[in-house]
Amino acid sequence: MTGAPLPPGAETVVPVEWTDGGLGEGAVRGMRARSLGPEGATGHVQVYRPAEARAHVRAKGSDVKAGDRALEAGTILGPPQIALLAAIGRGTVRVRPRPRVVVLSTGSELVQPDTELGAGQIYDSNSFALTAAARDAGAIAYRVGAVADDAETLRSTIEDQLVRADLVVTTGGVSVGAYDVVKEALSHVADEDEAGSGIEFRKLAMQPGKPQGFGSIGPDHTPLLALPGNPVSSYVSFELFVRPAIRALMGLQDVHRPTTRATLTADKALTSPKGRRQFLRGTYADGRVIPVGGAGSHLIAALAHADALIVVPEDTESVEPGTEVEVVLLG
Ligand SMILES: Nc1nc2c(c(=O)[nH]1)N[C@H]1C(S)=C(S)[C@@H](COP(=O)(O)OP(=O)(O)OC[C@H]3O[C@@H](n4cnc5c(N)ncnc54)[C@H](O)[C@@H]3O)O[C@H]1N2
Ligand code: MOO
């Protein structure tokens, strides 16, 4: 009977274990099952312990009152939030679905892990990293393994993927080489009738992450971000540009990673290229940050041991140990 309405006139609930259950044989441990019938019932219930008024009674509105806001707009609906919506009788609510993000890596030199490496080949790590990062940001992510350096193949692969994409992320092929195929394939995909459509390629004043492409593609103008191929560059670019885009698509207000100030703990000064904002990898704890590895955009092992990015502003070329720096916490 837990949860049953109070009968008219009743003002408290006495647990059955505090009574004789109507059997006249002393305190009981529980009620007889209804199917066993009222055999032995006396019609009187002996109560052995007093219960205070309103004891064991859950008042209407003690969880959510009529007129209360049950959930703020922008709340991510996890299991408890879905329970709350059902509990207040809301069978449907308007939501922003998790964005579907398609991740493609490009490069004829790339092979799948777990296979034998041939001459001039390396394992594709970016597509795995970025797919995991997209899921971590809240998206539904689809990984498309390495696409060879051929503009037509890349264009048709992307077109095939558009049906399941709210956002497309590519890596590699955005620099200035003859085989920088993303740039070649996507530089002229603008829709003439749509101002602002197409993909633009630019050099940003940052390191890593200098060459970048961004824009929209296909009949639905699906947003596309073309990240550089160097593994650390693609990951840092994801953190700075793709993660906020995914979170904006989810309708969240807080789209950026948190930042803090920390004291640089290092045995020598950090150096940074003039005119580029540098994002070095580091570990952060208790107001201090320690650099991990160097500035090289290929240093995946150092990245795997870092939990923060140390930001060196574009006008700073050297940072002495003990200096306070800005740090992006990778969480
Ligand atoms: N002449 C110039 N060369 C380069 C410049 C420049 O300004 N002038 N910029 C450099 C910078 S900075 C970056 S970043 C890279 C970016 O170039 P791409 O985006 O075209 O990258 P790729 O050439 O495709 O690859 C670079 C590097 O990373 C490896 N890679 C690529 N994809 C993956 C992957 N999925 N998993 C693991 N490793 C990957 C690739 O094999 C190359 O070694 O350009 C510089 N060059
Ligand atoms: O700026 Mo690139 O992104 O160093 O590696």
71-98 pLDDT, tens digit per residue, is 998 899 999 999 999 999 999 999 999 9
The tens digit of pLDDT for each residue in 181-225 reads: 999 999 988 887 777 789 999 999 999 999 999 999 999 999 999
3-state SS class at 63: coil
Residue 59 and residue 224: Cα distance in Å, rounded? 53
The residue nearest atom 1 of ligand 2, judged by CA position, is 208
Distance 229 CA to ligand 1 centre (A): 4
What is the structure's pLDDT at 92?
95
Q: Which of 225, 125, 124, 123 is nearest to 182 (CA)?
A: 225
Tell whether the model's pLDDT for residue 38 goes beyond 80. no
Question: Of ligand 1's atoms, which has the minimum distance to the CA of residue 209?
Answer: 14
ipTM over 0.90: yes
The whole-number average pLDDT for the span 37-61 is: 87
Residue with tokens 């201090």: 288
Q: Are 277 and 302 within 8 A, CB to CB?
A: no
The residue nearest atom 25 of ligand 1, judged by CA position, is 229
What residue spans define the domains of the chain? 1-58, 100-249, 259-329
Q: Which of 213, 208, 245 is nearest to 226 (CA)?
A: 213
What is the structure's pLDDT at 74?
85
Residue with tokens 């993303």: 182
What is the structure's pLDDT at 197?
85
> Best substitution site from 126, 210, 212, 276 to test ligand 2's pocket, by max atoms within 8 Å of Cβ?
210
Nearest ligand to residue 232 Cα:
2
CATH superfamily name and code, 100-249: MoaB/Mog-like domain (3.40.980.10)
First to last CA, the chain: 47
Nearest ligand to residue 276 Cα:
2
Q: What's phi and psi for 97, nearest 5 deg? A: -65, 155
For residue 48, what are the CA distances in angstroms to 25, 28, 35, 44?
A: 12, 11, 26, 13
Residue 189 and residue 283: Cα distance in Å, rounded? 41
Tell whether the model's pLDDT for residue 248 goes beyond 80. yes
For residue 60, what are the CA distances in angstroms to 2, 63, 81, 317?
A: 15, 8, 20, 64
Residue 133 and residue 301: Cα distance in Å, rounded? 17
CATH superfamily name and code, 259-329: MoeA, C-terminal, domain IV (2.40.340.10)
Q: What angle do CA 296, 301, 302 make, to 5 degrees?
A: 60
Check if 100-249 and 259-329 are the same fold. Answer: no
What is the structure's pLDDT at 52?
95
Global pTM value: 0.87
Residue 99 and residue 248: Cα distance in Å, rounded? 10
Question: Of ligand 1's atoms, which has the minimum distance to the CA of residue 298?
Answer: 28
The tens digit of pLDDT for each residue in 292-320 reads: 999 999 999 999 999 999 999 999 999 99
The residue nearest atom 30 of ligand 1, judged by CA position, is 229
The whole-number average pLDDT for the span 104-114 is: 97
Rounded (10°) CA dihedral 320, 321, 322, 328: 90
Q: What's phi and psi for 54, nearest 5 deg? A: 65, 10
Q: What is the DSSP letter of 115?
A: S
Question: Of ligand 2's atoms, which has the minimum distance to the CA of residue 233?
Answer: 3
